Amino acid sequence: MDLGLKGRVCAVTGASGGIGLEVTRQLCDEGARVLMISRDPEQLAAMAEVVRAEGGTVEVVVLDVTDDFAGDQVVAAAKQGFGQLDVLINNAGAARWRDLEDASEADYRFQFELSVMAPLNLMRAAIPDMARRGWGRVVNVSSTAGKRPSSQMPDYSVGKAAQLALSRQFADRYAGDGVLVNAVCPGPTASDLWMAPGGLLDQSRDEAGGESRDEALAAVGSKRPIGRLASPEEIASAIVFLSSERASYVSGAAWGVDGGTVPVII
């Protein structure tokens, strides 16, 4: 299937690893040009080189998406590098395992900045031009925890639920202008967020006490009907489809890409 992404200009936050890097690769495979965004300059430059070596056309922007002027910077960089911005993927995110009693106000504020204020800022900067041209796509990367709060990630769950509400607001406002805004809700995915030393897998092991990494991984997988974690590529495929011409009648959705984790039919 031709996704109709050839020549489109896409901005991907959190593009230096995990889901965002795979989104970048798949967009480039479709002939799109990508602005890769994250904070660590060396890691971002290294991953941009990997994508270029695979034939992709990418530029990088080093920034923290929670900075006040992040949206303006992203739009300016897209215009400078590629002329305009057609697709925005709000993917940058972070999570820590903690009990409800241990989540501080600062933890909730951190998640609100990252999952709500940053996507809000980027959408406000990017969408008006898309609307004027009559074509645009935005995908907000939320989580199963945004649909069914995770008892182990209270602050993250609240931020991701609010992100879904934000996404729907923009979807309703801009669908008539040709700008389709959607969200995806991934289940646990074998990116650095889970798999890096000290990541969610190790944090869950600390909780269970004495499990091996393999045992902990099997335990996380067994809680899903599909029986395992997702790969970043599997989540990226849904995001890239929603970014594409082919998703031309999808607006305001919050697609579960979770191996059946959230047990509802809407």
Ligand X SMILES: NC(=O)c1ccc[n+]([C@@H]2O[C@H](COP(=O)([O-])OP(=O)(O)OC[C@H]3O[C@@H](n4cnc5c(N)ncnc54)[C@H](OP(=O)(O)O)[C@@H]3O)[C@@H](O)[C@H]2O)c1
Query: Which residues lie near ligand X (CB under 6 A)?
Result: 13-20, 38-40, 43, 64-66, 91-95, 114, 141, 143, 186, 188-189, 191-194
Min separation Cβ 163 and ligand X, Å: 9
172: how many CB neighbours lie within 10 A of its CB? 12
Min separation Cβ 116 and ligand X, Å: 12
Min separation Cβ 81 and ligand X, Å: 18
- Count of helices and strands (H, E) across the chain: 11, 7
Closer residue to ligand X, CB minimum distance, 17 or 136? 17
Q: How far apart are CA 132 and CA 236, in angstroms?
A: 28
In eight-state DSSP terms, residue 230 is B
Q: How far apart are CA 140 and CA 123, in angstroms?
A: 10
User: Contact 61/74 with Cβ under 8 angstroms?
Assistant: yes
Closer residue to ligand X, CB minimum distance, 31 or 89? 89
Closer residue to ligand X, CB minimum distance, 136 or 188? 188
Q: Is 134 helix (H, G, I), strand (E, B) or coil?
A: coil
Active site residue 174: no
Min separation Cβ 16 and ligand X, Å: 4
> Crossing angle of helices 41-53/18-29, nearest 10°?
30
Min separation Cβ 230 and ligand X, Å: 7
- Give 62's contacts (C-beta < 8 A, 6+ positions apart): 37, 38, 39, 40, 41, 44
Closer residue to ligand X, CB minimum distance, 29 or 64? 64
248: how many CB neighbours lie within 10 A of its CB? 12
Closer residue to ligand X, CB minimum distance, 2 or 207? 207
User: Contact 125/170 with Cβ under 8 angstroms?
Assistant: no
Where in the sequence numbering do the catalytic residues fall?
156
